[in-house]
Structure 1
Amino acid sequence: MIVTVTANPSVDRTIEIDSLQRGAVLRTRSALLDAGGKGVNVARALAANGLAATAVLPTGGAEGVQLTALLATAGINVVEVPIAGAVRSNITIAEADGTTTKLNEPGPRFDAAERARLVAATLDAAEGADWVVLCGSLPPGVPADFYADLTRRLRERGARVAVDTSGDALRAAVAGRPDLVKPNREELADLVGHEVRTLGDALRAARQVLGQGVPTVVASVGAEGALLVTADGAWHARSTFVEPRSTVGAGDALLAGFLAAGHIGPDALADAVAWGAAAAALPGSRMPTPAELDRAAVQCSPAFDPAATLTES
């Protein structure tokens, strides 16, 4: 079983339009409502593929009720941590060419007691888990070292920990030495303090992270797929079928796929990229089912062009 922790979950509305024009009145092609937040998406991806997942998350307000109702229909075991504030609502605008624009609220402010309850709920849920995945942004009132401190406490109990966050929270989390981190290109660049424009840049940056005591780095690099970097080597995987409809949640599906496939070596990386590519081809933040995965479309190799330029999607 995999336990996910989402400190700042959301109710996500995705609106599909032909193209975004500022100041205009636009007709939408469709609208979708999903449970959101990076850890929530990892749990949804696992559940969509018939794997056990427990999602630990704060809930509050009408949005919190809506969030747990959405997760109940997905067959996910939810551990709720009640808070006084309301869970945030986010909006994604998805254009026909695959461009996505996100409007994310900061989330509710936590007090010390609420933070303590979230930690306690995580430690309880982690008993016997294969992995604990700490994901997403931190809401107001939660210090940047929250995931780092939680990582140390989980590892003291023998749990394996994966972290997918950004900014100060990611920098602090690396110092806590999780078993795995999954940055995207921008997060990796921010983490090491220099630009990541090519696959070679991404490889060098990932090796810097390894040098800080993290044994496994899975870096998602947009249309170029992902890199897996460990002490045993580096591999690049890319899907030849990439027609993005919405990239929201694609990196979360990638992480779920990597863990589901055994979290070791190029085969797990290839499966991860298949999951991520399938998610990008779906509307909103839908997670792919087994029927939507195309493992045969993924090329994975330890030999790749370090000069290959990385793009946003």
Structure 2
Amino acid sequence: MIWAVTFNPSLDITWHVPDVEKPISYVTRAVHRAGGKGNNVARAIRTLGGTVTAVGPYGGAVGQAIQTLLNRQGIPVLSVDIPDDNRICVALAGTGNAVTEIREQGPMVSVVALERLLVRLVERVSPDDWVTLSGSLPSGLSAEIYFNWVKFLRPKVAGVIVDTAGDNLRAALRANPTAVTPNEEEALALLAENLNGDTYVLVTRGAQGVTLYGQNQAPKMWQAPHVEMVNSVGAGDAFLGGLVYALANGSGWEDAIILAVAAGSASVRHFGIADFDPEDVLRLIAHVTRIQ
């Protein structure tokens, strides 16, 4: 089982608006998805055929809508109730590759609510399970949330992989997660102090692929295949979904990274956030190149 945690879930709406700069613009295509980075990861895992449960705080009509969308894709939800609606985020896809994201900040979520959710998760996980922790925290919460979740989950499961940034990433690293997946900019300030630890650092570099650091090994790099980009939003979440799916099914790290790069590359070819065709992933695997 894989557990994909989203601390700040959202209802993601992607609108194709070719004439976005006009006073009145019309949407020519719309896609609604259960969003927040962890929910994107969960959908990617499910698309690949994996078994995953989405974990997060949900409230109001928006929270119910997000859970319904997850359930329709065969993804159960482990949740804790919050009093306010979850956020709505809109991506405006214009002509060419231009995408503008408009993100609500999201509701207040108490420390007590997330502690209750953590207890529920710890009670349910098994030693062979994998957990992903993704994205921003709800407004007003300390980065120590990430430290505590990694600290309590890591001894209970096969692995914990973290995809976040800034203070949240630094807090998570203090608890020694199995791996973190920062982008190139996020990684610059962190690599020097974490290369000698037990945590793998997978630096995602967009169309350039990924570099693997850690466990006293020389860096290893994989080049992503060239694909025509339609929407790059959520490619990192598709990457993480592919990575943890492969690891949970017994793949080694190098094979898991190849699948992950293929999944991320496949996702940018689709209009929806972190959407992809699993057959496309299988085709692209052969075009992921080890360059170092």
TM-score, normalised via structure 1 length: 0.85
State the distance in 2 between where 1:157 and 1:127 align. 7
**Residue 132 of structure 1 aligns with which residue?**
131
Aligned residue for 1:24, secondary structure, equals coil
Q: Corresponding residue for 2:103?
A: 104
Distance in 2 between residues matched to 1:240 and 1:19, nearest whole Å: 31
Size of the alignment, in residue pairs? Answer: 286
* CA deviation profile, 1:120-140 (whole Å, cap 9, x unmatched): 122123234521111110001
Please tell me the residue identity of whatever aligns with 2:17. Answer: I
- Asked whether 1:215 is paired with 2:199, we answer yes
Tell me if the contact between 2:56 and 2:117 (Cα under 8 Å) persists in the aligned partners.
yes
Question: Counterpart of 1:92?
Answer: 91
Deviations 1:184-222 (A, max 9, x none): 123223x43xxxxxxxxxxxx3x54323x3521111112
Partners of 1:254 and 1:58 lie apart in 2 by 24
What do residues 35-76 of structure 1 show as CA deviations (whole Å, max 9, x unaligned)? 001111111111111111011111101001100110011111
Change in Cα spacing, 1:99 to 1:121, as seen in structure 2 (3 Å) is farther
1:115 touches 1:142 (CA, 8 Å); kept in 2?
no
* 1:83-108 CA distance string (max 9 Å, x none): 11111100111233223211111111
| TM-superposition CA deviations, 1:220-257 (whole Å, max 9, x none) | 11221211223333222223332111112110110111
Structure 2 letter corresponding to 1:56:
V
> For 1:267-278, what aligned pairs fall within 5 Å after superposition?
267-278=255-266
The residue that corresponds to 1:291 in the other structure is 279
Q: Specify the alignment match of 1:66 in structure 2.
A: 65
In the TM superposition, residue 164 of structure 1 has moved relative to its aligned partner by 0.5
* Deviation sequence 1:22-46 (CA, Å, 0-9, x none): x632233311110001111111111
CA contact (8 A) 1:12 1:33 kept: yes
Offset of residue 259 of structure 1? 1.9
In structure 2, the residue matched to 1:243 is: 228
Contact kept, 8 Å, 2:210 with 2:223, in 1: the verdict is: yes
Unmatched tracts of structure 1, length 5 or more: 193-204, 303-313
Q: How far has the Cα of 1:158 moved from its partner?
A: 4.6
Tell me the SS of whatever aligns to 1:275: helix
The answer on 1:254 being equivalent to 2:239 is yes
For the 8 Å contact 2:9–2:39, the answer to whether it is kept is: yes
Partner of 1:17: 17
1:225 aligns with: 209
The whole-number CA distance in structure 1 between the counterparts of 2:24 and 2:260 is 39
| Alpha-carbon spacing, 1:129–1:109, altered in 2? closer, same or farther (3 Å) | farther
Q: Secondary structure at the match of 1:288?
A: coil
Which ranges of 4 or more aligned residues in structure 1 deviate by more than 4 Å? none
Q: Which amino acid aligns with 1:92?
A: A
- 1:186 and 1:19 map into 2 onto residues whose CA distance is 32
SS of the aligned residue for 1:122 comes to helix
- In the alignment, what sits opposite 2:78? 79
- Aligned to 2:15, the other structure's residue is in SS state strand
Give the 3-state SS of the residue equivalent to 1:273 in structure 2: helix
Is the Cα contact below 8 Å between 1:2 and 1:129 reproduced in 2? Answer: no
Unmatched 5+ stretches in structure 2: none
Q: Secondary structure at the match of 1:84?
A: coil
Partner secondary structure for residue 76 of structure 1: coil
CA distance in 1: counterparts of 2:112 and 2:199, whole angstroms: 33
